[in-house]
Amino acid sequence: MQDVLVIGSGPAGLSLVAALAEVGLAVQGLALDDPTHPWPNTYGIWVDELEDVGLVQFLDHRWKDCLVQVNSGPVPLHREYGLLSKDRLQAHWLTQAEQHRVTWHRGKVVRLEHGPTHTQVTTASGEMLAARLVVDATGHQAALVRRPEAPELSFQSAYGIVGRFSQPPIAPQQMVLMDFRNDYLSPEQRQEPPTFLYAMDLGDGVHFVEETSLAHHPAISMEVLAQRLHQRLRHRGIEVEDIHHVERCLFPMNQPLPDFTQRVVGFGGAASMVHPASGYMVGALLRRGPGLAEAIAAALSSSQTTPAEVASQAWRALWPADRVRKHYLYLFGLENLMAFDAPQLHQFFDTFFNLPTDDWAGFLADNLSLPEVVQAMLGLFGRAPNSVRWGLMRSVFSHGHLLGRTLMS
């Protein structure tokens, strides 16, 4: 009998397979595609997040010159950003898995049955796999993990191009985290939900430019984003000369937290691990995966522990009460961001990225304690102009229940 079956071979699935195997568990994986199949997305991450977990060698690009642009001017970030070498990281985790004799199966999971000592999944082709614990890492639209119905999901969406341009869209060796300037839009367009440019100089005359909607319900369409990207570039006198790759990005930002009493454990998008106020998740996978693997190994070390108890201990390790509380605070932050009009949004980000770097970085990485997050948010409130304060206070009335969950979860 295998200890753990991990379903999915995206960043969540592979990182956890490797972490589980490293702690000595017998692991098997189930994936729709060959697990060596290249991941489709481009993953950006702050360099210090990789340094903290000893994986900084898995960067293809690094930028020291990082900034946010708002209508009042640039805000330098004083923090290094990088682009993951997703091929090398994927190969690294697959090699680790192979060294520990992880077996991979191909197929789509269609049925789940819980027995007294194990859980069995059946694939569409009829293959049956059993393990003492099943982990669902099948992404945002989880195949097995149960979550409450979401009344209103907000989505991050983005349309990006990697290619060559008639002139550089940004300064040499620069990374623009968010360019919110909206001078290229008509007065009517400026009344519509704001979007921003995320852009990187990839060297050799190649750039990545992506028009992004941080979060909106319903999702801002690819057509609108593509149209805005071209309009923005044209306004700056830039023509697209050669397209190497087009990225279309769409994922939910505020999925409800899973039901922590279920016997299938989630990881990654399937466990609602996306940071609701930023959309980032890869750093969280790297930080939280090894701890989850250790908790699973500890729970499985006794044959007396029931599968339900193993799952419960795993969920507690992934989503301890303090993290759940912070999650509601980030959800409150998301609601604020979506409620701001364009001038408030510009002032908000100007204030946010002028906080001490440890505060905004810790807020985005979710590695501050709850009192530290509250402190950072109070610091922001204290420094923000009145229009932003007013917007924040208005949200306390409209979304105070999220703050209530922060205090009471």
Ligand X SMILES: Cc1cc2nc3c(=O)[nH]c(=O)nc-3n(C[C@H](O)[C@H](O)[C@H](O)COP(=O)(O)OP(=O)(O)OC[C@H]3O[C@@H](n4cnc5c(N)ncnc54)[C@H](O)[C@@H]3O)c2cc1C
Which residues contribute to the site for ligand X (CB under 6 A)?
7-13, 30-33, 41-44, 108-109, 137-139, 143, 247, 249, 251, 268-270, 274, 280-282
Distance of alpha carbon 4 from alpha carbon 28, whole angstroms: 6
Give me the sign of the Cα torsion angle 68, 74, 79, 84.
Answer: positive
Angle (nearest 5°) at CA 282 between 276 and 283: 90
> What number of other Cβ atoms are within 10 A of residue 28's Cβ?
20
AA letter at 370? L
Comparison of 83 and 384: residue with beta carbon closer to ligand X: 83
Q: Minimal distance in Å, beta carbon 284 to ligand X?
A: 8
Q: Is the peptide bond before 218 cis (omega within 30 degrees of 0)?
A: yes
Q: Measured from the CB atom, is 63 or 344 closer to ligand X? A: 63
CA 374 to chain centre: 22
Residue 108 or 235 with smaller CB distance to ligand X? 108
Q: Which is nearer to ligand X, 130 or 339 (CB)?
A: 130
Nearer residue to ligand X within complex by CB, 222 or 298: 222
Spatial contact of 160 and 178, defined as CB atoms under 8 Å apart:
no
Residue 37 CA, chain-centre distance (Å), reads 21
Q: How far apart are CA 156 and CA 304, in angstroms?
A: 44
DSSP 73: E
Residue 99 and residue 377 in contact, taking contact as beta carbons nearer than 8 Å: no
Min dist CB 229 to ligand X, Å, is 15
Nearer to ligand X, 268 or 391 (CB): 268
Closest CB to ligand X among residues 13, 258: 13
Q: What secondary structure letter does DSSP report for 106?
A: E
Give the shortest CB-155-to-ligand X separation in angstroms. Answer: 10
Residue closest to ligand X when measured from CB atoms: 10
**Rounded-to-integer distance, Cα 233 and Cα 251, Å:** 25
CB closer to ligand X, 236 vs 245: 245
Q: Which of 317, 318, 321 is nearest to 407 (CA)?
A: 321
Q: In the complex with ligand X, which residue's Cβ is closer, 252 or 307?
A: 252
Between helices 86-99 and 11-22, what is the axis angle to 10°?
A: 30
Q: Name every residue whose Cβ is closer than 8 Å to that of residue 228 and which is 6 or more positions away in sequence.
A: 185, 189, 195, 211
In the complex, minimum distance from the CB of residue 17 to ligand X, in angstroms, rounded to a whole number: 11
Residue with tokens 């998301």: 334
Rounded-to-integer distance, Cα 62 and Cα 229, Å: 24
